[in-house]
A and B are shown apart, each in its own frame.
Chain A
Amino acid sequence: MGTLHEEFVAAPLGKIQVLRGGTGAPLVYLHSAGGEAAGVEALEQLAERFEVIAPIFPGFGESEGIEQIDGMDDAVFHLLDLWALLGLDAPNLLGCSLGGWMAVELATRYPERVERMVLVNPVGLYLAAAPIAEMFGRSPGELAEMLFVDQTHPLAAAMHAMDEFSGDVGKQIDIPIELVLPMWKALGATARIGWDPYLHDPKLRGRLRRVTAPTLVVAGAQDGLVPLAHAQTYAAEISDARVAVVEDAAHWLIFEQPGELVALTEAFLAEPR
């Protein structure tokens, strides 16, 4: 497996943490509201074929500048800044959930800056008949139920273990701050973009026709957060797009089915344009 090393770039918003490794065509990974990138097996596998570049969004990990992000406009301009700093013209994008939404926001506004897109359980749309479930105000264990099929997956199990600290409403006894803080920061950063409107941009659906990049929408069949209809809508409204459903996966399929995601991504990015 390839390895990703950490570096920092001085972006206009502040210091940005970037994980980078491998050689090949550039593939930018945009993480979910969990802020995952370091030590993610799927990214290490992809680094065998691609130059994987995973910038950590402001407010997550050690990246600065969240106080200057007030919505997707700011997020898209931040991505353009990163493209310039990292010497990227039109990279491939792999975006999970929040990162998938961000990728689409970029691709609707600056279609020429995206080569191909793989969106994994992207948020960003509002479908009255299939609303996105509530992610805020949930305990880590409740979130794990929505994010994983297999509750014994090590990450899911760790989230359930956190509930023993936080427990029921109000039963917050002796929570180690170092356990809570990264999640607290990540949720706060997500809220800045996705609290209201809740994880969507009312204008986005009408703008999807602007996307020119061939797009693969990967959906976990058992996603407890984002219903399958969202992937189907993205695929229907983007001119060159299709859906791939992964059966034994929920929202965080990058952790639960890394092999399948890598295979789908590699095959899709290898297709002739």
Chain B
Amino acid sequence: MRFFSFHLMPYIGLDPSYTGPAWVTCPNSLFDPEQGGALYNRYLDELVYAEELGFDGVCVNEHHQNAYGLMPSPNLMASIVARLTSRMKVAVVGNALPLYDPPTRVAEEFALIDCLSGGRLIAGMVVGGGPEYYSFSVNPAYARERFQEAHDLILKAWTTPGPFEWIGKHYRIRYVNPWPRPVQQPHPEIWIPGAGSVETMEFVARQRYAYMGIPYFHLDVFKRTFQMFRDACEAEGYQADPLQAGWLVPIYVAETDAQARREYEEHLWYFVKRLLPGITIQPPGYTSARSLANILKGAGTFLLNVTEWDEIVAGRYAIVGSPETVTEQLVDALGQLGTGNLLGLFQLGSLPADLTRRNLELFAREVKPRLEREFPPGAPVHRPAAAVA
């Protein structure tokens, strides 16, 4: 089991009188630059602290024009973290490839972070969220095509000596020859986040990359998703390695269950009610008919629809409680999902710095060692219900 601390870098203190979506049209007059600067520095401290606590790595991601996550360029954040740390992985999960034109920019920046970190980059590549297609006016009907072509171009840029010419449908570059090149050969580990799109899973399985489940669904949805991914790997003729899958989930640990809920609940609802609205917008042509059916199956359980604390607990939308409770729920959930990477969101919504720090410490000290014993390296993680009983 590998442990990552994932940060969204949310905007805290969104004007309470504003009730609209946190995405695309959320007025940027609500962003206070002083507050923003303080948050960026605080959040970077939280990421860097993960190395001291023994995490395997940290994750940052890309979103635009929203209050949910303030990293339009996760590469900037990743490069700062890379400079301030020396051991842990730095995962960018990921760059929204169709938004980069030309996408050789991704090949360059990822290679730079890989050089800077001495080969610690995990290169995430993502189609981009629905809202991004509104914020960038990039045509969502070409999202998959552009993602595919950009991916092929980046991989070729990393693995084929330049210069070479790229003549594709969406990108035409006379001289592809990026400096720098990545330290990791033939290329950095690649992660692909997905929300249940069948084509994405098949692509990840074919390439033997790792599939990261996009969060905020009921555990049952993830069970189906990761089973589909394992099936896709089997269809490619091999058994998926647990490290090829990752589950992203909000985690909060305190001394007791009651204290955990008391400290955490308001910050979780800030996240659900203030930062999530608008995230689910589905631009036209963005998803194939085949995948739409699968995505709709899970849509009803999306965290936005959850209004009761008991549902949060029962659906494992967040793992909250004492070290014992959190350990127990994670052992159970990870066994059901079979994912070898645990991506914890230790800061969520408006959770303040002191509680975030203590959460990280308690998890690292009290929970992580037990999970490491439970899921030793190289051993299978997936424990179908029948086998457990």
Contacts and interface: CB of A to CB of B under 8 A. Distances in A.
Contacts of B292: 177, 180-181, 184
A184 B279 CA distance: 18
B36 interface: no
Interface in B114-144: 134, 137-142
A185 B300 contact: no
A70 to B, nearest CB: 8
Nearest to B279: A170
A173 B140 contact: no
Interface in B245-293: 276-281, 283-286, 289, 292-293
Contacts of B279: 170
For chain B, the bracket of interface size reads 20 to 34
A186 to B, nearest CB: 8
B25 to A, nearest CB: 10
Interface stretch (A40-48, A145-153, A187-195, A228-236): A187-195
A271 interface: no
A196 B284 contact: no
Contact of A191 (B21, B277, B284, B299): B284
A173 B302 CA distance: 9
Nearest to B143: A191
B289 A184 contact: yes
B305 interface: yes
Contacts of A188: 141, 284-286
A169 B299 contact: no
A175 interface: yes
B284 A170 contact: no
Given A137-B283, A188-B284, A189-B285, A195 B278 contact: no
A187 B280 contact: no
A191 B283 contact: yes
B296 interface: yes
Interface string A7-41: 00000000000000000000000000000000000
Interface residues of A, number: 23
A137 B277 CA distance: 14
Contact of B296 (A171, A172, A187, A192): A172
Interface in A194-219: 195-196, 198
Given A173-B299, A174-B300, A191 B141 contact: yes
Interface in B295-322: 296, 299-300, 302, 304-305
B9 to A, nearest CB: 21
A137 B129 CA distance: 13
A136 B130 CA distance: 12
Contacts of B289: 181, 184-185
Contacts of A137: 134, 281, 283
Contact of B304 (A169, A185, A187): A169
B284 A136 contact: yes
A170 B300 contact: no
B280 A170 contact: yes
Contacts of B276: 170
Interface in A108-153: 136-137
Contacts of B137: 195-196, 198
B284 A169 contact: no
Nearest to B297: A177
Contacts of A191: 139-141, 283-285
Nearest to B299: A172
Contacts of A173: 299-300, 305
Interface of A: 136-137, 169-175, 177, 180-181, 184-185, 187-192, 195-196, 198
Given A172-B296, A188-B284, 6 more contacts: A137-B134, A137-B281, A172-B280, A175-B296, A191-B285, A196-B139
**Leading 10 A-B pairs by shortest Cβ distance:** A188-B285, A170-B304, A187-B284, A191-B284, A172-B299, A191-B141, A173-B300, A195-B139, A192-B141, A170-B280
30 contacts: A136-B134, A136-B284, A137-B281, A169-B280, A169-B281, A170-B277, A170-B280, A170-B302, A170-B305, A171-B304, A172-B280, A172-B302, A173-B299, A173-B300, A174-B300, A177-B296, A180-B296, A184-B289, A187-B284, A189-B141, A190-B284, A191-B284, A191-B285, A192-B285, A195-B137, A195-B139, A195-B140, A195-B284, A196-B138, A196-B139
